[in-house]
Amino acid sequence: MEIKVVQNILKANDALAAANRKQFRDKGVFVIDLMSSPGAGKTTLLEKTAERLAGEIAFGVIEGDLATAADAERIGAYQIPVLQINTGKGCHLDANQVQNALQYFDLDSLDLLFIENVGNLVCPAEFDLGQHTKVLLLSTPEGDDKPDKYPVMFRQCPTVIINKVDLTPYVPFNLDKVRASIRRIQPEGRILELSCQTGQGLDAWIELVRQETKRFKAELQASAS
């Protein structure tokens, strides 16, 4: 019986996620669900993205955390539309929370929306939010065993960012092992290696965001004509 209940919740979530996806498409907004463990650097990556892209691509951010508006305040400092969702005890965002958040954005004026999920490598993988793609951050201090321990999450994310590569001399993290693990779980996936602190590798991330947003817009135009 318990399994049936869980399946029903996921089914309801999937229906709401589909509605979100349709709304994003209608408004021409490309949506990226950004996930990681707590402390891997999601908000910092978004700050760096804002520094580089704010004048070029109109984007907004939904922040998911159990408590505080700390991350929304950090993003808001860049004059970017941002909304904080506090989930209380909830360990992931769901499609309904995202739907409710959308009324606070002028979607017509946005080309891109980042959803920073609650820091957690487990259940955010189960809840479709209506995003177009998922990006996973893994930071080197977390250890090189994470892809093998959390394969469901890694399998769902076509882009994996290894962050804090500047710390590899100080932490036990074998980059070759991690690359091999990720490729084994998702052979088609893309791996970016960067450091938000030193700026190393950030160019590739910025270019990826730029190209993926452009490609989404082009696909929309092609299907409309």
List binders of Zn ion among 110-169 (CB under 5 A): 123
- Can you count the helices (H) and strands (E) in the chain? 8, 7
Considering the complex, what minimum distance in angstroms separates the CB of residue 116 from Mg ion? 6
CB-CB contact of 212 with 133 (8 Å): yes
Interface with Mg ion, residue 71, by CB under 5 A: yes
Residues near Mg ion (CB under 5 A), total:
3
Which residues, 6+ apart, have CB-to-CB distance to 85 below 8 Å?
A: 62, 63, 64, 65, 93, 97, 101
71 touches, from Mg ion, Zn ion, none (C-beta below 5 to 8 Å by class): Mg ion
Which residues, 6+ apart, have CB-to-CB distance to 120 below 8 Å?
A: 35, 37, 38, 91, 92
CB-CB contact of 165 with 195 (8 Å): yes
Considering the complex, what minimum distance in angstroms separates the CB of residue 123 from Zn ion? 3
Identity of the residue, 63 or 185, whose beta carbon is nearer to Mg ion in the bound complex: 63
Considering the complex, what minimum distance in angstroms separates the CB of residue 102 from Zn ion? 21
Q: How far apart are CA 37 and CA 69, in angstroms?
A: 18
128 touches, from Zn ion, Mg ion, none (C-beta below 5 to 8 Å by class): none
Identity of the residue, 71 or 128, whose beta carbon is nearer to Mg ion in the bound complex: 71
Interface with Zn ion, residue 92, by CB under 5 A: yes
Q: How far apart are CA 60 and CA 80, in angstroms?
A: 6
112-116 vs 190-193, strand pairing mode: unpaired
List binders of Mg ion among 31-50 (CB under 5 A): 42-43
- Name the residue whose CB lies closest to Mg ion: 43
Interface with Zn ion, residue 91, by CB under 5 A: yes
The contact set with Mg ion (CB under 5 A) reads 42-43, 71
The contact set with Zn ion (CB under 5 A) reads 91-92, 123
